[in-house]
């Protein structure tokens, strides 16, 4: 008998990637707390206006080593959920590409804030791999320009000072409305518009589960709040979903 399985939507924030060595920018020990000046390196207007800001931004990307990060047990658990046949869509605030690297189908991942694995020219819109641009930085280029037209290269992320892609937001909104289970994993749930997605899901009848180390504004509305480390909690939660243990959620 083919029983229809519930759609599981998963909103992931920085907390799911910290075990992969990628810092949580907004948390109590996050980069913005430790060095508020670093925020201008990912803010659109200073980035476009200043060669020095871009030079510092390229050095930050080079030194962060994000492209060398490997998926952890949390990312792999969500890929296991898909492999088990559970309908799943991941709405991620992260730009690290680790969900896809863990084996989750790219079409199942909605990247709300874009991707840091690619660069794009601000003039001709040519897209290329971030790794190739970082190789140019390693070879001595302070501010690698577009090889097609010579204009400024930027990461394909949503930077501070610009809006999210309306098509991406519409896709995320539709998923939040359609799901039966909504997991909020490793997100502060304070950054809009992504923080509105749990509300949309709950208002359309979804069961909300929050997995996060710190309290969130949605804890009181959640059917379950899990404070365990994500790399431990998510594999267990996925097993429950695969087993159809929704009544216990």
Instruction: Write out the chain's pLDDT in tens, 249 residues.
Output: 345 778 999 999 999 999 888 876 555 555 555 565 677 888 999 999 999 999 999 998 888 776 788 999 999 999 999 999 999 999 999 999 999 999 999 999 999 999 999 999 999 999 999 999 999 999 999 999 999 999 999 999 999 889 999 999 999 999 999 999 999 999 999 888 899 999 999 999 999 999 998 999 999 999 999 999 999 999 999 999 998 765 544
Domain 30-68+117-157, architecture per CATH? 2-Layer Sandwich (3.30)
For 157-201, what is each residue's pLDDT tens digit?
999 889 999 999 999 999 999 999 999 999 999 888 899 999 999
- Domain segments of the chain as ranges: 1-22+70-113+163-249, 30-68+117-157
Instruction: Write out the catalytic residue numbers.
Output: 113
CATH of domain 1-22+70-113+163-249: 3.40.50.1220
- pLDDT value, residue 61: 87
What does the block give as tokens for 220? 């009181």
Q: What is the pLDDT of residue 66?
A: 67
Closest CA to 224 of 239, 205, 209: 209
Number of C-beta neighbours around residue 161 at 10 A:
12
Give the pLDDT confidence of 130-167 residue by residue, as tens digits: 999 999 999 999 999 999 999 999 999 999 889 999 99
């Amino acid at each position: 008998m083919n029983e229809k399985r519930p759609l599981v939507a998963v909103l992931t924030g920085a907390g799911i990637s910290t075990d992969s060595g990628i810092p949580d920018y907004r948390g109590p020990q996050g980069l913005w707390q430790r060095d508020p000046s670093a925020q201008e390196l990912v803010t659109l207007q200073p980035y476009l206006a200043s060669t020095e800001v871009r030079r510092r931004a390229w050095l930050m990307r080079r030194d962060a080593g994000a492209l060398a990060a490997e998926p952890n047990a949390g990312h792999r658990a969500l890929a296991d959920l898909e492999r088990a046949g559970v309908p799943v869509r991941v709405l991620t605030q992260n730009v690290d590409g680790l969900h896809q690297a863990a084996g989750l189908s790219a079409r199942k991942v909605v990247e709300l804030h874009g991707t840091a694995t690619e660069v794009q020219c601000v003039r001709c819109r040519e897209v290329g791999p971030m790794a190739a641009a970082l190789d140019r930085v390693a070879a001595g280029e302070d501010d690698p320009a577009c090889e097609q037209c010579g204009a400024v290269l930027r990461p394909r992320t949503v930077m501070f000072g610009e809006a999210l892609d309306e098509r991406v937001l519409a896709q995320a909104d539709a998923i939040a409305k359609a799901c039966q289970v909504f997991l909020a994993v490793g997100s502060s749930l304070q950054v809009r518009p992504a923080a509105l997605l749990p509300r949309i899901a709950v208002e359309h009848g979804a069961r909300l589960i929050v997995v996060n180390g710190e309290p969130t504004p949605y804890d009181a509305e959640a059917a379950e709040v899990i404070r365990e480390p994500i790399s431990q909690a998510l594999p267990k939660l996925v097993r429950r979903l695969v087993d159809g243990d929704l009544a216990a959620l």
